[in-house]
Amino acid sequence: MAFLEFQSISKGYPGVQALSDISFSVEKGAVHGLMGENGAGKSTLIRILSGDQSADTGSITIDGVEQHYRSVRDAFDAGVIVIHQELQLVPELTVAENLWLGRFPGKAGVIDSRTLIEIVRTKLQEIGIDVDPTAKVSTLSIGARQMVEIAKAVMLEARVIALDEPTSSLSSRESEILFSLIERLKARGTVILYVSHRLDEIFRLCDSLTVLRDGKLAAHHPDVTQTTRDQIIAEMVGREISNIWGWRERPLGEARLEVKNLSGPKLPSPIGFSVRKGEILGFFGLIGAGRSEMARLLYGADHRHHGSVSIDGVAVSPNNPKAAINAGMVLCPEDRKFDGIVQGRSIEENIAISSRRHFSPFGILNPKKEAALAEQFIAKLRVRTPSRKQDIINLSGGNQQKVILGRWLSEQGVKVLVIDEPTRGIDVGAKSEIYEILYELAAGGMAIIVISSELPEVMGISDRIMVMCQGRVAADINRSDFNERTILTAALPDKNAAGTI
């Protein structure tokens, strides 16, 4: 019997129809997959479920009762918890405070901190999550923060939990913990709405599946086992994608980027490497291997202890992102929300913000130039938006990533692009488009560093892979020698760490 029902849900915004007549249901104790390209309407549907948005038409029914939300609190009281891809934790509070926010144990308004910590520590141990309850959330890795969000939903015993790309920031070990939790939640009758672009997870976890495309219901599969990977991809994108990676050989020039004996506070072992003109160099490693730390050192965002970085033989001043940009190096960071996009600003502003200095003398803005620049890269990168004036926070993850790329492509004289987790939380169609952009840039002579925690991705698009382990380079492998076992073996700290894969 259906426990959660969406009935004729429609939602429009100025210039775009986000959802059109969406109907499907989920049985009690089932995991239901929700798939679609970025911009297909998944996030809008989740916002409506969470009470953050209201549908223009249609209704949601939970356990036979039609819901009438006026706020997120109403949805929460109805037993609905949504764990967004962009986390909703309070950074300066501890793990325990975040997990118990709004319902602290104590009397007369005085919080019993010791009891709070012990309750949370016990709960975390019960569900197998190894996080210090006294640690501030701001000190945790992205993966650890994701686990805290998941722990909150489990502890609150929600009736309906929506997970939006839950494993995008998790290690393989953390993902396995999550999968075990999902099985336990299923057993007690919880409905799980599982939003993911990872088809292996959909087939492993989900009982049923709904596919959205352009705000419409593209397909509904009551039994996931009765469909195929290729069929789902075709339903998502409306076309066949035979080779998502699309790698092709290209001529490589002389060394463009040279790094020697680079080290910093989170990268104590000096590392060195070079990237040639036209080359895509992939960096792979387990969480904590030092990949993102290496990128931040290169870019000058973190303090360099030792070593040198040069582009076309010219040294790049350390500890200064502006100097890196002026030398021709740009960075698309791992955390799009906090380190990439400028929230509360339009697509136009996010694209133009870096290159303004080239066409705004004396700090006087040039609205016509900014508008033309935004329109150029919206078209070139196929950003899905009703207007260049759209607030960037309202875009899907894939479209936000394209805007960040547009910002740097609008820069003059970019020679080195460092892109960290280029397709995290991005659908298969948008992935193909971003890979195509990278190949075009490489063909033009740009040196590109791609950092990814997804081994198929880094193997699929790289000319060469450097494997990092515990802050050092463990292997440098040419494309002709790519082998999954070899790469994973190099990434492991020791043979006893096999469980972290």
The answer to whether 478 and 264 have CB atoms below 8 angstroms apart is no
**pLDDT mean across residues, the chain:** 86
Domain final residue pick, 383, 412, 441: 412
Q: What pLDDT shows up at residue 496?
A: 36
pLDDT over 60 at 122, yes or no: yes
Domain final residue pick, 237, 265, 300: 237
Confidence of residue 497 (pLDDT cuts 50, 70, 90): very low
Give yes or no: residues 156 and 187 share one domain: yes
The answer to whether 462 and 282 have CB atoms below 8 angstroms apart is yes
pLDDT in tens, 71-89: 888 998 899 999 886 667 8
pLDDT over 60 at 115, yes or no: yes
Confidence of residue 379 (pLDDT cuts 50, 70, 90): confident
Give yes or no: residues 65 and 179 share one domain: yes
Q: What pLDDT shows up at residue 203?
A: 94
pLDDT in tens, 173-216: 788 888 988 998 899 899 999 998 888 899 999 999 999 988 99
Q: What pLDDT shows up at residue 481?
A: 95
pLDDT in tens, 126-156: 877 888 999 998 888 777 887 888 888 888 7
Give yes or no: residues 31 and 74 share one domain: yes
Percent of the chain with pLDDT over 90: 43
Give yes or no: residues 321 and 212 share one domain: no
Q: What pLDDT shows up at residue 277?
A: 97
pLDDT in tens, 412-439: 789 999 999 888 767 677 788 889 989 9
Give yes or no: residues 25 and 119 share one domain: yes
Give yes or no: residues 308 and 370 share one domain: no
CA distance 39 to 395: 7
CATH code, 18: 3.40.50.300
The answer to whether 283 and 450 have CB atoms below 8 angstroms apart is yes
Residue with the bigger pLDDT between 112 and 77: it is 77
Domain that holds residue 58: 2-237
pLDDT in tens, 454-489: 888 999 999 999 999 888 899 999 999 999 889 988
State the first-to-last Cα distance of the chain, in angstroms, to the nearest integer: 38
Give yes or no: residues 173 and 320 share one domain: no
Confidence of residue 501 (pLDDT cuts 50, 70, 90): very low
Write the single-letter amino acid at 289: A
pLDDT over 60 at 34, yes or no: yes
pLDDT over 70 at 253, yes or no: yes
Q: What pLDDT shows up at residue 171?
A: 75
CA distance 171 to 500: 7
Number of separate domains in the chain: 3
Q: What pLDDT shows up at residue 104?
A: 52
Evaluate whether residue 295 is within a structural domain: yes
Q: What pLDDT shows up at residue 304?
A: 92
| Angle between helix 229-237 and helix 428-443 axes, rounded to 10 deg | 80
| Angle between helix 172-187 and helix 142-155 axes, rounded to 10 deg | 10
Confidence of residue 227 (pLDDT cuts 50, 70, 90): very high
Domain final residue pick, 396, 412, 428: 412
Question: Which range in 8-17, 228-237, 441-450 is most confidently predicted, on average pLDDT?
Answer: 441-450
pLDDT over 90 at 55, yes or no: yes
Q: How many CB atoms lie within 10 A of CB 311?
A: 19
Mean pLDDT of all residues in 277-300: 91
pLDDT over 80 at 495, yes or no: no
Locate 88 and state its tokens.
């909703």
Confidence of residue 218 (pLDDT cuts 50, 70, 90): very high
Evaluate whether residue 404 is within a structural domain: yes
